[in-house]
Amino acid sequence: MFSTLPTDYHEFIHWAWPQFEPYYKNLIDRTLFADNVAAWLADWSHIAKLVQETYARLHLATTLDTADTEAEKRYHTFSGEVYPQIEAAEQQLKQNLLDSGLEPAGFEIPLRNLRAEAALFREANLPLLVENRKLGSEYNKIVGAQTVPWEGQELTLQQIRPIAQHPDRVVRERAWRLASDRWLADRAALNELWTKTVPLRKQIALNAGCADYRAYRWRELLRFDYTPADCETFQAAIEEVAVPAARRIYARAQQRLGVESVRPWDCDQDRDPLNYPTLQPFQDVTDLIEKSEKIFQHVDPQLGEYYTIMRREQLLDLDNRKGKAPGGFCTEFPVTQRPFIFMNSVGVRGDVRTMLHESGHAFHVFETNHLPYIHQLQITMEFAEVASMSMELLAAPYLSRKFGGFYTAQEAARDRVEHLERIILFWPYMAVVDAFQQWAHTHLEGVDPMACDAKWMELQQRFMPGIDWSGLDAELMTGWHRKQHIHRSPFYYVEYGLAQLGAVQVWRNALKDQAASLAHYRQALALGGTKSLPELYQAAGAKFAFDARTLKEAVELVETTIEQLTA
Ligand SMILES: [Zn+2]
């Protein structure tokens, strides 16, 4: 029926609601039966993919050139005027499918998600959710206005970050203290915001029939395959296995830096010990692309081919230039069936890591192109990040020039050591963030900033004892202010720790048999969002795990590899 829909994005990129409407109306009006539901889902997917690609392309245009006012206007018109009508129509279609009672093949997981969304929906929560978003923007406003004076200039906290990594310890301590003092100047404002946020979240949960906000978010984040208790098991495993390993890393950093103890200003983001000197992995964007392509060809011929397609079709915009939005990400064009990678590379090693990571997401897009329904492409972070984090590890053996990569053998080894150290150091920090959020939203005192300060301090001492915060109590206990996830995307963080554990297992398999491991990896990616997390992990050759034994095996592999690379 929807054969009239265009397949070239030039034809639909400027569509407004009148163009979309007849298709949605047609879908809404159809009566669903067992024998027409597959065709109906295919048509729905077709129009929804068109919407998604339009959205992605209009948004991308605003990030590629932030000064392009036309692009800005087109994006705002679409998101503000067209999209709300589409959303209402999409909601109606979801309801129609649920009301039909039909359970189409290959749709078990998407249906599970739709049912959960519908069960959580309450009319009474609509204004509260708007208010919740406002408080999130309020947080952004406070943080976005933070600047510090540095040598006659007014720098944002983003801008002072490179200075806080300065090789001269005196300089970086000064920069670190300036940034910390600036955060502390907002302490009262952030505390006040928190005392409004917590009760509001609780009310949203109660309205939806949930005992607390944790239970609400669990369902909203579609966490069907694990419980808060599993996360506590994971925290305990991290304490037992990753915390001692992290202490060993801080002890080595202390020697390397020649300091009496590792202080927060000896670490990036209060966590990763600094490593000197810096490397220069590539000259320009062409160089970055050519070297990456060679690396992926070594990892897997098919993945190498995907990368070549991206290169040929100009689906990579990697250089940092004036007027480009910050950050790096991979977006997706579901009608064209292509990913697009956006980056701001300046020639540092972090750019290489971002390239590898985002390419993992891009390969996920290629591998899921065969799935007929857009709803099967909804992949939660617990597995989406396995695709990307695995790629960082799978590509690591080919980073040196011997394989067409970026570094001398010695530089490659050093880069890998730092990467592996960061993997271990992330787990304890993740545990702090996760334990804090779980506590804050299930205890009455969670609304009290002073109780939060005490809790954060306790957790930091439990999970991250390797960093010396003496004399810095106020800075230490307000660490929860500085973690934006807590304020803007609550409970969202453990995903990274779980995915990292999955990625290390994929890499472990590749060390034994690379071709077989890559075949599993690709098969798992190709499942998209049609299976549960344990099934997706299993397909990738890994265990979706929280236990100390699995984590211990991973940590030991990482530590042994670090030893080999430093020898
Ligand atoms: Zn990612």
How sure is the predictor about 497, in pLDDT bands with cuts at 50, 70 and 90? Answer: very high
Residue 164 has pLDDT above 90, yes or no: no
How many angstroms separate the alpha carbon of residue 467 from the centre of ligand 1?
Answer: 27
Q: Residue 163's pLDDT is what?
A: 87
Out of 57-66, 161-170, 505-514, pick the least confident: 161-170
How many angstroms separate the alpha carbon of residue 504 from the centre of ligand 1?
Answer: 15
Mean pLDDT of 72-85: 93
- Tell me the C-alpha distance between 259 and 251, whole Å: 10
Q: Residue 276's pLDDT is what?
A: 67
How many angstroms separate the alpha carbon of residue 494 from the centre of ligand 1?
Answer: 14
How many angstroms separate the alpha carbon of residue 388 from the centre of ligand 1?
Answer: 6
Q: Residue 180's pLDDT is what?
A: 96
How many angstroms separate the alpha carbon of residue 497 from the centre of ligand 1?
Answer: 12
Q: How far is CA 149 from the centre of its chain?
A: 32
How many angstroms separate the alpha carbon of residue 357 from the centre of ligand 1?
Answer: 6
Does 276 or 347 have the greater pLDDT score?
347
- Tell me the C-alpha distance between 387 and 299, whole Å: 14
How many angstroms separate the alpha carbon of residue 76 from the centre of ligand 1?
Answer: 26
Does 166 or 471 have the greater pLDDT score?
471
How many angstroms separate the alpha carbon of residue 117 from the centre of ligand 1?
Answer: 24
How many angstroms separate the alpha carbon of residue 385 from the centre of ligand 1?
Answer: 5
Predicted confidence (pLDDT) per residue in 285-295, tens digit: 999 999 999 99
Q: Residue 162's pLDDT is what?
A: 83
Enumerate helices (H) and strands (E) in the chain, giving the number of each. Answer: 25, 7
How sure is the predictor about 244, in pLDDT bands with cuts at 50, 70 and 90? Answer: very high
- Tell me the C-alpha distance between 420 and 410, whole Å: 15
Mean pLDDT of 139-168: 90
How sure is the predictor about 367, in pLDDT bands with cuts at 50, 70 and 90? Answer: very high
Q: Residue 317's pLDDT is what?
A: 97
- Tell me the C-alpha distance between 245 and 200, whole Å: 39
How many angstroms separate the alpha carbon of residue 318 from the centre of ligand 1?
Answer: 16
- Tell me the C-alpha distance between 144 and 157, whole Å: 9
Residue 278 has pLDDT above 80, yes or no: no
How many angstroms separate the alpha carbon of residue 329 from the centre of ligand 1?
Answer: 8
Q: Which residue in 10, 1, 4, 2 sits closest to 336, CA to CA? A: 10
How many angstroms separate the alpha carbon of residue 374 from the centre of ligand 1?
Answer: 20
How would you label 387-423 residue by residue, b for 16+ Cβ within 10 Å and e otherwise? bbbbbbbbbbbbbbeebbbbbeeebbbbbbbbbbbbb
Q: Residue 157's pLDDT is what?
A: 87
How many angstroms separate the alpha carbon of residue 43 from the centre of ligand 1?
Answer: 30
Neighbours of ion ligand 1 (CB under 5 A): 388
Rounded to the nearest integer, the mean pLDDT of the chain is 95
Mean pLDDT of 372-384: 96
Listed in sequence order, the residues at least 6 apart from 522 whose beta carbon sits closer than 8 Å to its beta carbon are 300, 302, 303, 363, 367
How many angstroms separate the alpha carbon of residue 384 from the centre of ligand 1?
Answer: 7
How many angstroms separate the alpha carbon of residue 328 from the centre of ligand 1?
Answer: 9
Residue 447 has pLDDT above 90, yes or no: yes
Q: Residue 1's pLDDT is what?
A: 63
Does 167 or 227 have the greater pLDDT score?
227
How many angstroms separate the alpha carbon of residue 392 from the centre of ligand 1?
Answer: 11
User: Given CA atoms 174, 176, 178, 184 in this order, what sign does their dihedral have?
Assistant: negative
How many angstroms separate the alpha carbon of residue 361 from the centre of ligand 1?
Answer: 7
Instruction: Give the strand pairing for 338-345 and 316-319.
Output: parallel
In order, the DSSP letters of 100-169 are: HT---TT-HHHHHHHHHHHHH--TTHHHHHHHHHHHHHHHHHHHHT-EEEETTEEEEHHHHTTGGG-SSH
Predicted confidence (pLDDT) per residue in 405-429, tens digit: 999 999 999 999 999 999 999 999 9
184: amino acid identity, one letter: L
Predicted confidence (pLDDT) per residue in 11-50, tens digit: 999 999 999 999 999 999 999 999 999 999 999 999 999 9
How sure is the predictor about 158, in pLDDT bands with cuts at 50, 70 and 90? Answer: confident
Q: Residue 7's pLDDT is what?
A: 87
How many angstroms separate the alpha carbon of residue 350 from the centre of ligand 1?
Answer: 14
How many angstroms separate the alpha carbon of residue 57 from the centre of ligand 1?
Answer: 19
Secondary structure element (H or E) that encloses residue 319, with its range: strand 316-319
3-state class percentages of the chain: helix first, strand second, coil last, to nearest 5: 70, 5, 25
Q: Tokens in use for 480?
A: 């929860």
Predicted confidence (pLDDT) per residue in 293-311, tens digit: 999 999 999 999 999 999 9
Residue 269 has pLDDT above 90, yes or no: no
How sure is the predictor about 523, in pLDDT bands with cuts at 50, 70 and 90? Answer: very high
Out of 80-89, 90-99, 272-281, 456-465, pick the least confident: 272-281
Mean pLDDT of 103-131: 93
